[in-house]
Structures are given as C-alpha cells and as structure tokens.
Amino acid sequence: MEEAKAYIESGKLELYVLGQLTAEEQLEVEEMAKRYPAVKEEINAIEIALEQYAMEHAIQPTSGLEQRIFAQISALSGTTGAAEPLPEKEALIVPLYPDHTGTVKTLRFALAACAVLLVVSVFSLYSAHSKLAIANDQIVALNQSKEKFAATVSFMKDENEDLQQIASMSADPTWTIVKLAGTKIAPEANMVVYWHKKGQHVMVDNTRMALPQNDESHQYQLWALVNGKPVDLGVFDAKAEPKKLLVAMKEIGTAQAFAVTLEKRGGSINPTMEKLVAMGGVSI
C-alpha cells in the first residue's frame, strides 16, 4: 500500500489522464492500476473530476452559428452550377529571406494555450483532490458515528440484561436482599447487596445505591462480617453514571452482615473503621 500511495502522489496519474505520457509510461501506469485497486480508483476519480469541470465550464455556442458555418461551406464549394474560368497563375515569388512572423505567432499562441491548459489542469486536479479529501473526512465522520452508535447499542443491551437480572433476583427467594444504611459519617448513604448463599454470589446494585461519589484516589470496599471478622469482597466506584447497573463482587458462603468503607484506590487489607460509610445485617 505504501508503494501505491507514493505512486498516486507522484503526479503521473494526472499526466496519464491528460495524455501527456509516453507509450512506455502509459503502460507503466496501467500495470500499476492492475496491481493496486487504489491506483485505479484514483485514475477514475481524476477522470470524473476533469469531466465534471469540463461540463461546468462548457461554453454554449451562439444562436445561428450552425447556419453561418453551413452557408460559408456552400459558398466555398460553389452551388451555382456554372463553370467559372480558372484564374491565371501568377508568377511564384520566393523570398530570399523567408518571413517567420506567422510561425512565431503560431508558436506563441501554442505556448499560451499550453499555459492555459496547465493552469486549468492544476486547478482541476486541486479541486478533485479537495473533493476527495472532503469525501474522506465524511467517511471518517460516518465511521466514528457508526462506532458511537454501536457502543450505545451495546451499553443499552447490557443495561437491559442487568435490569432483567435484578428483577429475577428480587423475585427469587434463594437470593437474599441485604439493605445497608448510612453511618454517622454519611447518614444519607444507603445501598443494596444481593447475596446467593448457596451459590456464594454477591452482587452490588447500582440502581439502588446512594453513596457520596468517590474521587480518583479512593474507592469503596465491600466487606462481609463472618463471625465478627471482616472479609474483603472487592472494590467498586460510586459514579453518577455507572458503567454497569449490576456489579459482581467476590464470593462468600457465610456472612452475618455486610459493610462498606472508603479506602485508597485498589482497596486495603483491613477496613478503615473511621471511614465506615454503610452497614447492614443479614436477615435469617
């Protein structure tokens, strides 16, 4: 692909479309177009751009031009039918020093025409590349929108699955619903933990959580109190817009209560009791 990109940027494709290459160079371009689809697409894009430019800047012939041309042709061909006498031949005079004024004027006109063609070609190619750049930007924007849409659909799908699981756990008697209430340092705090004793599953419900939002340096840590000793069940974040509605924690088969403390990010080996935010006992 790097070779194709470098070839496209060399300027040969524009000269190929304008017919300014030698036969050998034309064969080279055609071979590259066969090998690389990107080269062929670039040639097509240049041809389309030049064609569009020609159509946009075409000059409409004046009215009656066709009749005047045919009238002049008829006059030159002679339509009277009468034989006209041939003019007498005049002596041919060959100047000693030929006058090159006409040739010089012709060359000047040709050079001027080439310069105009070059300017038009450069403008057309610039316009074509600008349009291609705009098209590429639009494609990138569409791809980004597509990715955002796919991410939104995926999030909504996961969210729907979490809501269905929460409803199922609430209706299933094998799941124990443990409500944690706030302590003195956070009296308004509360949250809900789902615990499946037989399967040892522990889930934190973000839809029924009211904890102060933690910063980037701290996280909440869930503990199970087993015979008076705290057992780490993992860490989680309290965000205004959580990524998951239902968060799975570490498994536990026995617990008399659950508690939450605010710890440094990553959690602690032992709970910081001064940062006990919420706690709730297990109903037997």
The model's pLDDT over 183-240, given as tens digits with 9 standing for 90+, comes to 999 999 999 999 999 999 999 998 889 999 999 999 999 999 999 899 999 999 998 7
Buried/exposed 200-227: b ≥16 CB within 10 Å, e otherwise: ebbbbbbeebebeebeeeebbbbbbbee
pTM of the entire predicted model: 0.45
Of 26, 46, 32, nearest to 4 by C-alpha is: 32
Q: Give the pair of three-digit tokens for residue 244.
A: 């998951």
Pairwise CA distance, residues 156 & 149, whole Å: 11
Domain ranges of the chain: 1-55+106-164, 172-281
Q: Please list the helix, strand and coil fractions of the chain in percent, rounded to the nearest 5, in that order.
A: 45, 20, 30
Distances in Å between the Cα of 230 and the Cα atoms of 16, 45, 114, 177 are 79, 70, 89, 19
Which phi and psi (to 5°) does residue 249 adopt?
-105, -175
- List the pLDDT tens digit at each of the 284 positions of the chain: 778 888 888 888 888 887 888 989 889 989 988 988 988 898 888 888 877 776 776 666 666 666 776 676 766 656 544 444 545 555 555 444 444 444 444 555 566 666 667 766 776 776 777 777 787 777 877 676 656 555 444 545 666 677 788 888 888 899 999 999 999 999 999 999 999 999 999 999 988 899 999 999 999 999 999 998 999 999 999 987 777 888 999 999 999 999 999 999 999 999 999 999 999 999 76
